[in-house]
Structure 1
Amino acid sequence: MPTPENAAQAASTSATTLDLTLTIGSNPDRFLLVGACSTSTVTGVVFDPGGADERTLTNITTLAVSSDTGLSLWKLVAPPTKTAATIRITKGGGHVAAGALGLYDVDQTTPHDAVVTQTFAAGTDPGVSLASQNADLVFNVIGADGGNPQFASGGGQVEHWDTQSASGNFARACAAASAPGASSVAMSWTLSGTARATGVIALNLNAPAGGTATGTQTASLEAAVQRQQIVTGA
C-alpha cells in the first residue's frame, strides 16, 4: 500500500518563491507530491534546487478555483533520499499556501490513475468520490480563495497539511488528506469560516505491481502517519 512518510507546509503573502523543507527516507518505491494554492500561476517546483540531487517536478494538473486563484498538484517519481531537502515553488507575486508529502510503496511506472477535479461555491462543503482498490491509497488536496477558511477532513481520512497565507480576501489556503483505497472512496471536507470558492484535486495512488492489501500494510500506514513530521514555514 502507498504509505505517507513525512509532510511539510508553508505559506507566504508576497514572495515569488516559497521553500518547503522535507526529509525523504530510504524506503523503496518513493514518490513526492506537492500542492499549492496561489493568486498567481505556479510556474515550477524543484527538489533540492542548486544541489547535487536537483530534480524538476512534473505538473499533474492545475485547477482554476476562481478567476484569481489556482490550485496545482505536482509530482516526482523516485525522489532521492535526503534529510531536510528543500522543495522550491516558483510563482508570480501574491499569496500562496502549499504543502508537500513524501510517500513510499508507490508504483514507479504508473504511480497514479486519472485525476478528479471539482470546484465549489462559497458555503459548500467540498467533496469528491473516485474509484480505487484495497491495495491503493486515495489522496486529495483542497485550495480556497479568500476569507479565513478552516478545513476538517472527513471520517477515515488522515490529514497531512493545513495552512493559509493570512486571513481576509487576499488570503489563500491549502490542505491535503488521504484514505485507504476501496472500490469507491469519498473524500470530504467540512468547511468553517469563510471562503469565496474552493477546489479539490484527487487521485488514486497505485501500489507497486503485484502488491496486495494486508492488515500489516494498514498498520504500517497508521504507524507512518503517527511518525509524520509537519514542518511549518511562512
Structure 2
Amino acid sequence: MAVVRSVVFNIVAFVLTGVMGVGALPIRWFMPGRALAYAKLWSRLVLWLFRAICGVQVRVSGLEHLPQSGPALIASQHQSAFDTLVWMLLLPRPCYVMKGELTRIPLLGPMLVLTGMMPVERAAGARALRLLLQGTDKAVADNRQIIIFPEGTRTMPGEHVALKPGIAAMSSHTGLPVIPVATNSGLFWGRNAFVKRSGVLHVCIGPSIGPTRRAALLEEIEKSWRALEPDCGL
C-alpha cells in the first residue's frame, strides 16, 4: 500500500509542480510581489497531498516559540524535502538559506530569487560567509524569518553530524537568538526515498538560544535538539 500511495503522490506532486511552474511565469513578469504568496500556495498543496495520499499526520509542537512577525533565526534539523516546505506554512515571511545551484533550475530557480530566498554558493569559501551575512542583513531589514539547516545536508533520523558555523555567525552578526527545531520527517519522507510512509510526523520547536559565542551556540543547538528528539519519537 505504501508503494501505491507513493506512486500516486509522486505523480500528482510532479504534475502539480509542473503546472504551477508554468503558471508562475505571469507572476514573474507582471506580479513579482506575489511570488512569496504563490510559493506558499504551492507548498500548502504539496503538503496537503502528502498528508492526504500518504496517510501522514503532521503534529507541530512549540509554536509559541515562533515570532508572529519580525525577523528570526531558526536552526532546523534537515532530514527530508518536507523540511524545505513546512516553514512556508508556519511563518509569515520565511526565508530559506539554500544551495545556490537551486536558483539555476528552470522555472523554479527564478521564483526562488523572487521570493527572497537566500542562495549560498558553498564552494565560494570565505566569500560565501560574507554573502551569507549580507543576505542575512537584507532579510532582517525586510522582517523575514530565516530558516537554516546547520547540518549542511539531509541526515538520517537520530544521526548526529558536526554543525556548520554559519548559524553562529548569523546570530552574532545580528544579535538575534536562535530557535532550535527537531523533527522525525526522515522516517516518512526519507532522503532520496521514493516510498513515503504513513505515521505521525513531528516538528518540535524549542525555546530560543543565545546569542552567544560560536562554539557555545553550536553546542547549545545540539543540546536543544537532543532534548526535543524524544518528543519527536526519536
Q: Tell me the TM-score normalised to structure 2 length.
A: 0.30
Higher relative contact order (CA 8 A, sep 6+): 1
Bigger share in helix: 2
**TM-score after normalising by structure 1:** 0.30
Name the structure with the higher strand share: 1
Q: Give the number of the structure whose alpha-carbon radius of gyration is greater.
A: 2
